[in-house]
């Protein structure tokens, strides 16, 4: 599969690099903008990824700031290419884009099995009962897109490390019926054997816990200059947070939940018991 190109992620990365380059040159927005034939607001939009920087403006910036970096030109090119999800008709809100570039994901799931660990039958049942009515074509595309994302877990060149905490309640929710759920739980046990995948169950006995405010995912990236991102989905949209203090707080919650969850081995035993109860 190899590392894929994510245009939105690359655009944001390019924007940060352009701002850092200007600041290293000792120029303010007011000083740099007219030299680039831009207004201050237009330059600011380029530096915050609200507007897309093309190769020509990037070259002009490198000339003005007296700093040549061929990687920036390549980033500008990649930011204009469509993401892989477009071929599935998926309108990405940013998460798939960032997940494509991430090295690791910390995921807390309360109601359903994490998307990266779902079987095709399970995800079909979820999509069919979701808030949005899907045509059969859209359903096929959404399933294909999610399966494509899952391939990162076994990719040899750029695998995604996944640490998942699943509330026990999600194991007992018979999405698609007993047969589909039994298949899904057995799939979880199989996925737990993958290198780089860790699955822990948060047992009902824990009672009230720090994650009850909602599920979330933290994405971390291979380069230190790409800050970790906290992603929270809600019924009408999603939230992405990059502020270090917010991400750090979410990590503390995740670590606390890991300590309260069953060990990976005991988690598999718990899942096996649930499977046994499904007949």
Write the DSSP assignment of 128-169 as a string of letters.
HTSSS---HHHHHHHHHHHHHHHGGGG-SSSPPEEEEEEEHH
Q: What is the Cα–Cα distance from 151 to 266, expressed in whole angstroms?
A: 26
Specify the pairing of strand 104-109 against strand 216-220: antiparallel
Span 79-91, pLDDT tens digits: 777 666 666 667 6
Res 211: pLDDT: 87
SS3 233: strand
Which regions of the chain carry the CATH code 1.10.260.40? 7-79
Q: Dihedral (C-alpha) 33, 35, 38, 43: value to the nearest 10 degrees?
A: -40
Q: May I ask the CATH architecture of the domain 7-79?
A: Orthogonal Bundle (1.10)
DSSP 8-state class, residue 81? S
Q: What element of type H or E holds 230?
A: strand 229-234
Residues linked to residue 229 through DSSP beta bridges, in sequence order: 219
Residues of the chain with CATH 3.30.870: 88-278
pLDDT, position 131: 59
pTM for this structure?
Answer: 0.75
Pair 80, 52: CB distance under 8 Å:
yes
Angle at 12 between CA 6 and CA 17, to 5 degrees: 120
CATH T-level assignment (fold) for domain 88-278:
Endonuclease; Chain A (3.30.870)
The predicted pLDDT at position 77 comes to 82
Q: Give CA torsion, residues 149, 154, 160, 163, to 10 deg.
A: 100
DSSP3 helix / strand / coil % (the chain, rounded to 5) = 55, 15, 35
Q: What is the pLDDT of residue 6?
A: 53
Residue numbers in the chain where pLDDT is lower than 50: 1-5
Compute the Cα dihedral for 183, 185, 186, 191 and give only its sign.
Answer: positive
pLDDT score of 183: 97
Please report the pLDDT score of residue 83 as a whole number.
66
Q: Tell me, what's the pLDDT at 261?
A: 97
């Amino acid at each position: 599969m190899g590392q894929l190109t994510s245009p939105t992620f690359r655009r944001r990365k390019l924007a940060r690099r352009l701002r850092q380059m200007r600041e290293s040159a000792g120029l303010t927005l007011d000083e740099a903008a007219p030299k680039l034939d831009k207004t201050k607001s237009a330059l600011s939009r380029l530096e915050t990824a609200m507007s897309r920087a093309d190769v020509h403006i990037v070259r002009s910036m490198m000339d003005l700031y007296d700093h040549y970096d061929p990687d920036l030109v390549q980033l500008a090119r990649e930011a204009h290419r469509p993401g892989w999800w477009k071929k599935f008709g998926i309108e990405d809100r940013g998460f798939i884009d960032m997940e494509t570039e991430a090295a690791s994901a910390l995921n807390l799931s309360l109601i359903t099995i994490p998307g990266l660990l779902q079987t095709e039958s399970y995800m079909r049942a979820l999509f069919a009962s979701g808030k949005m009515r899907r045509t059969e074509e859209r359903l096929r595309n959404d399933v294909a897109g999610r399966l494509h994302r899952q391939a990162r877990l076994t990719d040899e060149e750029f695998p995604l490390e996944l640490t998942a905490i699943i509330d026990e309640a999600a194991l007992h929710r018979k999405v698609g019926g007993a047969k589909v759920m039994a298949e899904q739980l057995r799939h979880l046990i199989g996925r737990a054997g993958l290198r780089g995948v860790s699955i822990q169950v948060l047992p009902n006995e824990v009672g009230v816990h720090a994650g009850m405010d909602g599920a979330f995912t933290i994405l971390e990236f291979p380069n230190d200059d790409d800050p970790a991102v906290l992603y929270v989905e809600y019924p009408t949209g999603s939230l992405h947070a990059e502020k270090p203090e917010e991400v750090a707080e979410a990590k503390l919650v995740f670590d606390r939940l890991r300590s309260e969850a069953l060990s990976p081995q005991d988690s598999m035993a718990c899942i096996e018991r649930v499977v046994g109860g499904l007949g």
